[in-house]
Amino acid sequence: MTNRDITLSDSDPTLHYDSVVDAWAYLLEDDLHYGYFAEGGESLTMATDALTNEMMELAGLSAATRVLDIGCGTGRAACRLATETGCTVVGISPSRTCVQRSRERAASMDAADRLHFLSGDGMLLPHPEQAFDVVWVMESSHLMEDKSRLLHECSRVLAPGGRVVLCDITLARKLALEEVIDHRDDFLLLKDVYGRARMEPLSFYESQLQALGLETEHSRNIARETRPTFGHWRANAQRHSDQVIESIGASAQSQFLASCDVLEKFWDLDILRYGILSAVKPA
């Protein structure tokens, strides 16, 4: 992509993601997800690693663990899991770009034989029942329209005694119509920048998993720890301005900068949060 403005507000989230992934490597850095800032002064790389660490701790991984990574991005988290714990990871994404980049990343790893990346939809998994010990859903559920179906599929492919671990942007609460109208332009901007998404409160995930027979082990709002992410994204947009504009255009870069302001506002108004949870399927 060269010198083009990306405006895909009505497009499929996968098409949008494919269009911006080159620019996001500069803006969001290699992990393509939020950071967990325990102290506040960490670099974004340290903080994104820390969020993966939080998920790994909840997952309880070992060399015998079979992991399904739903929405694997460009494969960095999956490669970390396999390299550091010896587990086997199957990563899926509806994005062909992400699957290809994940495969390229894995090919250079010592753990390449334990890493497999496939095109797939988290709401309609191609895997048999009880095929995995951990289902890992890192910052991808907000892009899936039918979250009940996603969680049903997570439960279906999970072996007894296995865990679902999930983190994502969440609503603080169900929004009143008046709030949606008041912030309509802000929500439309976020849609333009990040693609079509739908957030739910963290309690939604808990209740859905409970209805499927899973028991929540851990559930926490980490809005405070994730909030510094936006300042780092803003700094990256300014530091790598030439590369970002070359990839997605000046208008899209300006929209990204504005989106950081909107997200900070939504965090501070307690409209949006960031949740992390784990739930176990009884043996």
Q: What pLDDT shows up at residue 22?
A: 87
H-type helices in 87-228, by residue range?
A: 96-107, 147-156, 177-182, 184-194, 202-211, 223-226
Note whether 162 and 133 are within 8 A (CB).
yes
Q: Average of pLDDT values for 174-185?
A: 94
Per-residue pLDDT tens digits for 10-26: 446 677 667 788 898 99
Tokens representing residue 63 in the block? 């060399």
Q: What pLDDT shows up at residue 19?
A: 75
Give every CB contact of residue 60 below 8 A, 6+ residues apart in sequence. 134, 163
Residues comprising the chain, all counted: 283
Q: Average of pLDDT values for 276-282?
A: 98
Q: What pLDDT shows up at residue 91?
A: 97
Q: Is the pLDDT of residue 135 over 50?
A: yes
Sign of the C-alpha dihedral, residues 18, 24, 30, 34?
negative
Domain definitions of the chain by residue range: 13-280
Q: What is the mean pLDDT of the chain?
A: 93
Q: Where are the beta strands (DSSP E) in 194-271?
A: 215-221
Q: Is the pLDDT of residue 6 over 50?
A: no
Q: Average of pLDDT values for 98-123?
A: 93
Note whether 167 and 274 are within 8 A (CB).
yes
Q: Is the pLDDT of residue 270 over 80?
A: yes
| Overall fold of domain 13-280 | Rossmann fold (3.40.50)
Percent of the chain, pLDDT > 90? 86
Confidence grade of residue 1 (pLDDT, cut at 50, 70, 90): very low
Backbone angles phi, psi at 111, to 5 degrees: -95, 20
Sign of the C-alpha dihedral, residues 242, 243, 247, 253?
negative
Candidate from 3-17, 29-43, 222-236 with smallest mean pLDDT: 3-17
Q: Give the integer Cα–Cα distance in Å for 202 and 237.
A: 30
Q: What pLDDT shows up at residue 2?
A: 33
Give the number of other CB atoms < 10 A from CB of residue 238: 11
